[in-house]
Chains A and B, each alone.
Chain A
Amino acid sequence: MKFRLYRYSPESGEKPHMQDVELDIDPVGKMLLDALLAIKAQDETLSLRRSCREGVCGSDAVNVNGKNRLACITPLGELKEPIEVRPLPGLPVIRDLIVDMEPFYRQYRSIKPWLINDGPEPEVERLQSPEDRALLDGAYECILCACCTTACPSFWWNPDKFVGPAGLLQAYRFIADSRDEATSARLDNVEDPYRLYRCHGIMNCVDACPKGLNPTEAIGRIKSLLVKRRV
């Protein structure tokens, strides 16, 4: 199979370039990650992140034929050749397919992603009805792979100011949690022309999410709460 890989090594002094690679591999039942690792076995200078290789850790997000995907759950046979693999868009490239995720993590941290409940801790669990728990479905499963945020033009233009789809989805995960008491402060935290309102409902994030989550929907819910609070 034919591949075109984005290569960049800061130590070489060269600019990023595309490398053509031919790999003898039977695509049946294989994922893109299998191919990338096979290429790495031939040429160990190719660098990429990977861990769980089953789509739950979020390490190996890359841009494949233009789309952000997790290499480990992207069936090789589905891809059009030459398979072009590049790093996630909009983040500084450290090397090859590895980007600096810090701008992404910084936005994640900025929404205070932890449960806030200053009430006395009960001896047993805090109760939560299955209906209230169901509100978290589609919000807590995020694996922080950054496929959505780096597919979002608003994040490309303002990565330091716009929280981005993943961060806002997490913000909603805590706003929606019946056990969290800081809803008002959380809304304050995101109510900002840049932090929240750079979202223009482009919905690239929904298209990109490998877990089938819907950040746009969550952002819409946040906006509704803000409007409700105002009027």
Chain B
Amino acid sequence: MKPIARPVYLDLLRIYLPLAGWVSILHRVSGALLFLALPPGVWALSLSLSSEAGFLRMAGWVTHPLSKLLLLLGVWAFTHHLFAGLRHLALDVHWGTGLSHARQSSLAVMLATGLVTLLAAWRLFT
């Protein structure tokens, strides 16, 4: 009398994700974003280096609030990926692998990323 299909409880919105888990999933999200930004990035570079006109068009776009927002997202993604990545490298050499240290380093990554992103926002929008 094997029940056919058993339900699986996996409600990601209800399951608690510790801070280290947030750092980790955001590391993945930011990495994916950076990957997706790669071809547009090369394209933008190629445009800006192609001619005076292309450069000016680029420079014009960059001042648009929407692209500033995209830029800010890029700053966040890069910073988070960098800091979280450094944290992972430390864990790989067995630094700060204890639970309390891991929590502290996660908090540090989040705070540092937030700070850099805020600075970038201030620089971009004022």
Which residues of A approach B to under 8 Å, CB–CB? 6, 8, 10, 15-16, 63, 65-67, 84, 86-94, 99-100, 151, 153, 156, 200-204, 206-207, 212, 214, 216-217, 220-221, 223-224
Contact residues of B: prevailing secondary structure: loop
How many Å lie between the Cα of A202 and that of B26 in the bound state? Answer: 11
B39 on the A face (CB < 8 A): no
Chain B residues within 8 Å of chain A by Cβ, number: 25
* A201 with B91: CB separation less than 8 A: yes
Given A88, A94, A156, which contacts B6 in the complex, CB threshold below 8 Å?
A: A94
Closest Cβ of chain A: how far from B5's Cβ, in Å?
8
Does B24 reach chain A (CB closer than 8 Å)? yes
Does B108 lie at the interface of the complex (its beta carbon under 8 Å from any beta carbon of A)?
no
Q: Which stretch in B9-17, B56-64, B69-77, B112-120 binds the other chain?
A: B9-17
CA gap between A221 and B97 in the complex, in Å: 11
A203-B9 contact given A10-B3, A220-B91, A220-B97, CB 8 Å threshold:
no
Give residues in B with beta carbon < 8 Å to A.
3, 6-11, 14-18, 20-21, 24-25, 28, 88, 91-92, 94, 97-99, 102
Ranked 8 nearest A-B pairs via Cβ: A66-B16, A92-B6, A207-B18, A203-B20, A10-B3, A202-B24, A217-B97, A67-B16
- Flag if A202 contacts B20 (CB, 8 Å): yes
Minimal beta-carbon separation of A166 from chain B (angstroms): 16
Smallest Cβ-Cβ distance to B98: which chain A residue: A214
* 23 residue pairs A–B, Cβ–Cβ below 8 Å: A6-B9, A8-B7, A15-B7, A16-B7, A63-B15, A84-B14, A86-B9, A88-B9, A89-B11, A94-B3, A94-B6, A156-B10, A200-B24, A202-B24, A204-B17, A206-B20, A207-B18, A214-B97, A217-B98, A220-B91, A220-B92, A220-B97, A224-B92
